[in-house]
Chains A and B, each alone.
Chain A
Amino acid sequence: MPIIEVEGLTKTYRVFQKKEGLLGALRGLYRREYKEVKAVAGINFSIEPGEMVAFLGPNGAGKTTTLKMLSGLIYPTAGDATVLGHVPWRREDAYRRRFALVMGQKNQLWWDLPAGDSFQLHREIYSIPRDQFDRTLGELAELLGVEKLTRQAVRELSLGERMKMELIAALLHGPQVLLLDEPTIGLDVVAQAAIQKCLRDYHASRGVTMLLTSHYMRDVEALCDRVIVITHGTLVYDGPLAGIVERFGESKLVRLQFEGPAPERREMERYGEVSRLEGPFADVRIERSRIAGALADVLNRHALADVSVEDPPLEEVIAKVFEEARLAHDAA
């Protein structure tokens, strides 16, 4: 049975259109113009317990709005959703005890106090038994390497350290569903890797269900098997991560290493787009349907020392998905 079920979820905002200049501002005092903005336009999906799902889309696609509806922060304009059997926007305590939302761009810890004090307050608010609290805090702090920083004021921590503390705060009460909105935004690669490892380990040990939005494809590759893509409030893909590359990655990168020097560029360009030609190496992007024929042809003509066929980088595929969706939306 799905742990998250979303049906026709829609959120429309009425946005004030401010006119330019002083006259426009004065006119706005008595006559205001509003525009209806459909942030989420009737999306459907369901997530099974223990799944780790990436929720991708360009800026303004409706990802965060969806997460906020699933957290119960905002009310939908239409549609239904249940998470752990609860309607999120009823904001029942029984629901709020069982999930957590982490937002990479916002702080929930008290700025002027050590993170440890905020954790204690969490313990009170979530009624976490003392032994469970101590155990979980110890485990998470060790996992993230911040055992010595919990008594330091939050404002004196680096962004990476602060994010780790935010993650600890979100996990202390043992949520069954974790909603993550760009948890690694602005972090260096070391901190990103630490957060990813923590989430992976936490998932492995607790079987938590995760829905993650991120613009870093490394997060997605490291954590998620399934991807949901949303653009302009509409769902455009829901399936395995590998499937999105199959569906939208029309070409593959063929890396060739010749026994002698690589052939001339003109010859290699017959197969596809050459991205590297250096000594014995040649990297060529070749359409999927032509790869077998191209390789056979190269082998007939030249002696190869090594060959590999790689999927295009996920960033590239996702960018293509977004671009196609944008063109379809503009055309409509």
Chain B
Amino acid sequence: MVAGVARYARMMGGLARYTLAREMAFRGNFLVKVSVELLWMGILVAFYRVVFAKTSTIAGWSEPDYFFFVGCFFAINGLIETLFLENCNEFAELVRTGDLDFLLLKPIDEQFLISCRKIDWGTAPNLLMGAILMAVALVQKGWTFDPGRVAAFVVTFACGVAIAYSFMMMLTSVSVWMVRNQSLMEMWWLFSSLVRYPREIFSGRGAEMLGRFFTFVVPILLVSNVPADVMVRVLDPGMIAWTVAVAAASLWVSRRFFHVALRSYRSASS
């Protein structure tokens, strides 16, 4: 078990090195990508600063709490985009061209190789910027260190990543049947749009139902809401347990779904 984990960690390290070397070979593209990501985040933070100049809370979230939430979202989203998004996005093309063959031949977990083989270093700064934003927000809030909250945050943050990853893997798997899956990016955009706001914005009768739906039926609102909540707002053990259960279940379901999809792989003619 330990040897297995060490082997996958070594491989991840290798993949990280080689993809960094590849990015550096096209450094112009890399620098533009990083700049666009940073600019996007800067605009978003400036926008919220303007909003909080007019109001003290958004949907019950104070300015530092909200900035912590935004930082948390950026960190999760950055992690997903850095590790998985490009790989999942390329999956349909691998299916269409038959290049998936070589990934399936390797004596290694197919899901690992398919979803982690390239690291998109251009989006990695989002993770760092998200972490910085969270740290600044905590300082602004005058947050005092609480190991219980930190532990709950780490667990639920990991669960948030797991839920988002599982959702992406299920979308990706559909490519085996659809062959062309250009809707993946649109679906991911929709997903990240839902995840980037606190669930309290779903207020009012119809919206509340929608909020519940995305918390308990298709529980994608848990992704960044719960880790942000446990760190700066309410430490709700019930919600933590629910998030952990959803993460475990979604990882299991997405893995099963992925393997079922692979059974239908036809391998394009050579």
Contacts and interface: CB of A to CB of B under 8 A. Distances in A.
Interface in A99-119: 100-101, 103-108, 110, 112-113, 117
Interface in B94-137: 98-99, 101-102, 104-108, 110, 113
Contact of A110 (B22, B98, B105, B107): B22
Interface in A1-35: 13
Contacts of B110: 91
B27 interface: no
Contact of A125 (B106, B265, B266, B270): B106
Contacts of B105: 71-73, 96, 100-101
Contacts of B101: 68, 71, 73, 101, 103, 106
Nearest to A179: B105
Interface residues of B, number: 27
A73 B98 CA distance: 10
- Counting chain B CB atoms within 10 Å of each CB, which of A91, A94, A100, A126 scores highest? A91
A106 B270 contact: yes
A74 interface: yes
Given A110-B18, A110-B22, A182 B104 contact: no
B42 interface: no
A73 B104 contact: yes
Nearest to A67: B270
A110 B113 CA distance: 14
A217 to B, nearest CB: 19
A165 to B, nearest CB: 13
Contacts of B107: 93-94, 96-97, 125-126
23 contacts: A13-B266, A64-B270, A68-B267, A71-B101, A73-B105, A93-B107, A93-B108, A96-B105, A96-B106, A96-B107, A100-B105, A103-B270, A104-B270, A106-B98, A112-B22, A113-B18, A113-B21, A124-B11, A125-B11, A125-B108, A126-B106, A126-B107, A182-B270
Given A106-B101, A110-B18, 17 more contacts: A68-B101, A68-B267, A71-B105, A73-B101, A73-B105, A74-B266, A74-B267, A93-B108, A96-B107, A107-B99, A117-B18, A121-B11, A125-B11, A125-B106, A125-B108, A127-B7, A182-B270
A219 interface: no
A218 B40 CA distance: 59
Contacts of A97: 107
A120 interface: yes
Contacts of B26: 112
B45 interface: no
A329 to B, nearest CB: 20
Nearest to B118: A110
Contacts of A283: none
Given A106-B99, A112-B25, A125-B107, A74 B14 contact: no
Interface in A50-97: 64, 68, 71-75, 91, 93-94, 96-97
Contacts of B55: none
Contacts of B158: none
Contacts of A112: 22, 25-26
Nearest to B18: A117
Contacts of B22: 110, 112-113
Interface string A126-145: 11000000000000000000
B15 interface: yes
A64 B269 contact: yes
B263 interface: yes
A171 to B, nearest CB: 14
A163 to B, nearest CB: 14
B10 interface: yes
A73 to B, nearest CB: 5
Interface in A240-285: none
Given A97-B107, A113-B21, A127-B7, A74 B265 contact: yes
Nearest to B97: A106
A126 B99 CA distance: 19
A120 B270 contact: no
A181 B270 contact: yes
- Counting chain A CB atoms within 10 Å of each CB, which of B21, B25, B106 scores highest? B106
A93 B102 CA distance: 14
A104 B270 CA distance: 8
A317 B106 CA distance: 38
Contacts of B266: 13, 74
